[in-house]
Amino acid sequence: MFMKILTLKKVVTVSFLLAGLLVGVILFSVMVGSVKVEPKHSVSILIQSLLGLTGTGTEMERTIILSLRFPRALLAGLVGAGLSVSGAVFQALLRNPLADPYILGVSSGSAVGAIIAILLGLSALSFGLPLASFAGALITIALVFYFGKQEGKIHPNILLLAGVITGSFLSAIIMFLLSISQKEELHTILFWLMGNFSFANPRAIGIVLPYIGAGFFLLYWNSRHLNLILSGEENALQLGVDVERLKIISYLSASLITAASVSLCGLIGFVGLIIPHSVRLLFGPDHRLLLPASALIGASFLIASDTLARTLLAPVELPVGVITAAFGGPFFIYLLRKRKVVKTL
Amino acid sequence: MIDLHSVSFRYRQDWVLREISFQIRKGEFVGVIGPNGSGKSTLLKTLCRLLSPQTGEILLDLVPLKEMSQREIARKIAVVPQEAYSLFPFRVIEMVLMGRSPYLGRLMFEGARDLEIAKKAMEWTETLPIGERYVDEISGGERKRVFIARALVQEPEVILLDEPTANLDIHHQVDFLELILNLNREKGLTIAMASHDLNIASEYCDRLILVQGGKVYKMGTPREVITRENIEKVYGCKVWVDENPISGMPRITLLKKGDRSVEALERG
């Protein structure tokens, strides 16, 4: 009897196709914007510069494409990939379909860092805002793991409680800081909290890429073992997995990816929750395919959302979080109604 | 081939296993029986190092279990869980192939040989026809057989079963136990099974270990262990023990409290 099983070939093929989709979305996002640049020009400027040629286009067109739209698309792609992968892993590790990258309070910690930076005027410095929010996220991760460990072991439910409680404590700090903020600061803070790429500094790509890249590599390294832990820790242990090491590596990698993503663009919701579920519906729960497919689809989704965010009401720019939530929310409700997400729910 | 030398284990405070020593020989079918909380499940968990005893030593083929990696253990000892729900459901074939995990390197995919091994195991357990179905969509009895197939795919020497017949109707109980017995007799696999069903243990096991309060109360053949005296002492309830007229093995009948006809039976 013929049985279909996951093969390397399938993973490579699917990744290749999804990478094609991603390239298409990037090209589209480079073509559109509040300043009109002839679409053909946009693409040729981009391709020529990637090939190291200088060619067509006015100085202004070149600046818009190469310094604004393209880096921004890359950044959105990186963050979309990061949040989707870490969401998928948190769902597996916590064995909770409602888990997302922010569930352990990393987002609240990073928000506190960002708000303090804005209130102290550090956001004027080129890396002031991302560094402060990254620091806030790292401190939160350390605290949550300190509270969540028992007898040197990580228990998913205890860690979850520690994360949720740390998160709500930090929310209290956020509300306190908001209530003492001035009007102009409030606007900046709210925009950050809603998720936004207009703060993003293109040079930040180089800084964030190593964290997201290393995190993704470590998670993919453990991808087969993540399949086994879906049926419980004892199950994974008796199939030969060093479960405690798997948990430490995976939790920390996913948390670091989240911290790095959030520090760039604030709290973009829904991506980390709906992308993994949607990809499971398409390709099944095997992490060897789920992780790369989530990364690529998440990247495409967030680039597309950001393109909408900056063109829908141009020249006014919407927070991208508004778009992801506006599309993600109803879509997720649809999935839930179909009861397709998790059969045991 | 499995040696326990005064193994003791505790979770927090109280010792759940106290200085347990015994041996399971290669190819044996051993039953672990005892009341709730006697330490049966804990004992099985220490055998595959899901739990590590604080004192004492467990040897697997003369090698201390604690010096082996989890992966090495998984190649020799397979566990058939009572239930194992995956948060996001896999298909039966995928679940069975997970048993190859202890043989696969990182970033590796199951190959043709792994698939061959899986198909053989599924043939053996009659799960091949449901290979493409989702694990959460098949019946409890079928799922039990899927877990057996997964255990076989680990190519182990020992299979551990915790309450394998719980939640199964009598038809599926018999089917399942016949399957286990075949693995033992035909494949020479060593079986250790914890069970609440004393009649099943008596029928199928070569040897029984009766535990009470984390200690071995009595060990031996079913005839030696399942006696009215032993069972009443350990379980603290009245039972009647006679012989199964077909197999000649000891058979237990539960008695209502205050049933006077027992005395009549005792008098013969």
What digits encode the pLDDT tens for the residues B143-194?
999 999 999 999 999 999 998 888 889 998 998 999 999 999 999 999 999 9
Q: Both tokens of residue A34?
A: 């509040």
- Chain B (117-136) residues lying within 8 Å, Cβ to Cβ, of chain A: 119, 128-129, 131-132, 134, 136
**Chain A contact present for B214, CB below 8 A:** no
Tell me which amino acid residue A277 is.
Answer: H
Question: Pick from B87, B101, B115: which is nearest to A3 by CB?
Answer: B115
CB contact under 8 A, B87 and A1: no
Distance CA B183, CA B190 (A): 9
Nearest chain A residue to B99 by CA distance is A239
Distance CA B89, CA A284 (A): 8
- In contact, A21 and A300? CB cutoff 8 Å: yes
Nearest chain B residue to A222 by CA distance is B106
Assigned domain for B244 exists: no
Distance CA A290, CA A278 (A): 10
Residue B121 structural domain: 77-156
The per-residue pLDDT for range B105-136, each reduced to its tens digit, is: 988 999 999 999 999 999 999 999 999 999 98
pLDDT at B76 over 90: yes
Residue A1: band (very low, low, confident or very high) from pLDDT cuts 50, 70, 90 = low
**Chain A contact present for B73, CB below 8 A:** yes
Nearest chain B residue to A245 by CA distance is B70
B124, B129, B133, B135 alpha-carbon torsion, rounded to 10° = -20
Concatenating the DSSP letter of every residue in A217-231 gives HHHHHTHHHHHHHTT
CB contact under 8 A, B88 and A232: no
**Which DSSP letter does residue A51 get?**
T
B118, B161, B46, B203 alpha-carbon torsion, rounded to 10° = -140
Residue B82: band (very low, low, confident or very high) from pLDDT cuts 50, 70, 90 = confident
Assigned domain for B97 exists: yes
Concatenating the DSSP letter of every residue in A89-155 gives HHHHHTT-TT--TTTTSHHHHHHHHHHHHHHTTGGGSTTHHHHHHHHHHHHHHHHHHHHHEETTEE-
* pLDDT reported for residue A344: 43
The per-residue pLDDT for range A228-272, each reduced to its tens digit, is: 999 999 999 999 999 999 999 999 999 999 999 998 888 898 899
Assigned domain for B107 exists: yes
Q: Which of B262, B257, B213 is nearest to B241 (CA)?
A: B262
Give the CA count within 13 Å in the CB-facing half-sphere of A191: 19
Q: Which of B221, B252, B243, B242 is nearest to B30 (CA)?
A: B221
CB contact under 8 A, A343 and B48: no
| B257 against A10, higher pLDDT | A10
Strands B63-64 and B55-60, sheet pairing: antiparallel
**Chain A contact present for B101, CB below 8 A:** yes
Distance CA A229, CA B69 (A): 18
Tell me which amino acid residue B59 is.
Answer: L
CB contact under 8 A, A95 and B87: yes
**Which DSSP letter does residue B91 get?**
B
Domain A8-338 has CATH 3.90.1530.10: no
CB contact under 8 A, A285 and B88: yes
Nearest chain B residue to A243 by CA distance is B70
The per-residue pLDDT for range A177-187, each reduced to its tens digit, is: 999 988 888 98
The per-residue pLDDT for range A17-27, each reduced to its tens digit, is: 999 999 999 99
* pLDDT reported for residue A345: 40
Write down the domain spans for chain A: 8-338
* pLDDT reported for residue A42: 80
Question: Pick from A8, A11, A231: which is nearest to B86 by CB?
Answer: A231
Assigned domain for B206 exists: no
Q: What is the pTM of this model?
A: 0.91
Cβ-Cβ contacts under 8 Å between A and B: the total is 106
* pLDDT reported for residue A188: 86
The stretches of A195-319 forming alpha helices (DSSP H) are 204-221, 223-229, 233-238, 243-265, 271-283, 287-311
CB contact under 8 A, A343 and B93: no
Assigned domain for B202 exists: no
Assigned domain for B179 exists: no
Which chain B residues are within 8 Å of A7, Cβ to Cβ? 109
Averaged pLDDT, A71-79: 93
CB contact under 8 A, A6 and B109: yes
pLDDT at A106 over 50: yes
Averaged pLDDT, A313-340: 80
Q: Which of A334, A170, A312, A195 is nearest to A258 (CA)?
A: A195
CB contact under 8 A, B87 and A228: no
Residue with structure tokens 């914007």?
A33
* pLDDT reported for residue A55: 67
Which chain A residues are within 8 Å of B97, Cβ to Cβ? 5
Averaged pLDDT, A275-294: 93
What is the number of structural domains in chain B? 1
Residue A61: band (very low, low, confident or very high) from pLDDT cuts 50, 70, 90 = confident
Assigned domain for B268 exists: no
Query: What's the alpha-carbon Rg for chain B, to the nearest Å?
Result: 20
Top residue of A239, A282, A288 to mutate, by most chain B CBs within 10 Å, is A239
- ipTM metric: 0.90
